[in-house]
Chains A and B, each alone.
Chain A
């Protein structure tokens, strides 16, 4: 399967712990987007990365959240000191180039639950 791979599918954390979400883009794609889906809401853009660079993080909370896309390996979305409000589904999407007319391909998401 050459699709976008996200893991884990489900992640449970207690308040104050760290959550790490991983995303491997489709083969040949070097552009990664992260979106968050809160219950009963649509997806909201968080961050856009290319290999080794954060291009646009305008949708990411200023504190506790960070993202990276290293030269080797998957993109990582990291949430430190999680709180109940972080409970959501986090989706990663990839595209071959950051252009508006190129559809993004989505992974199945990571469902984060905070106890």
Chain B
């Protein structure tokens, strides 16, 4: 079956530091890949997505590249801000069959950014 593995947190950084959150996946076929962010007490917000190999998703300074050869979708940001503190989830959605777009999530990575 499908699965997503994220690097364990929590991750603590100083403002303006470089961020990487690793994500690898197992899936049949060619899934679509997503990063969602969850702020305290809120639901998940889509951060970025990529739907085919070598696609790069980007938003608000965050980037992730769909690497089929390494089955990875690592999240990066060059300079984090205190406001980026949140929980980040990597997710996939498999095409076809009976998946109907349902998402498989990683366990989430807590990011804390200090001034």
Contacts and interface: CB of A to CB of B under 8 A. Distances in A.
A interface, size bucket: 20 to 34
A98 B44 contact: no
Nearest to B52: A101
A91 B44 CA distance: 9
Contacts of B98: 56
A42 B108 contact: yes
Contact of B93 (A43, A91, A101): A101
A35 B101 CA distance: 13
B112 interface: no
A97 B101 CA distance: 8
Return the 6 tightest CB-CB contacts between A and B, nearest first: A106-B43, A42-B105, A98-B100, A100-B93, A106-B44, A101-B51
Interface of A: 4, 6, 31, 33, 35, 41-45, 48, 55-56, 59, 91, 93, 95, 97-109
Given A42-B107, A44-B105, A103-B49, 17 more contacts: A6-B43, A31-B101, A33-B101, A33-B102, A45-B104, A48-B100, A91-B44, A98-B101, A99-B101, A100-B32, A100-B95, A102-B101, A104-B103, A105-B46, A106-B36, A106-B43, A107-B43
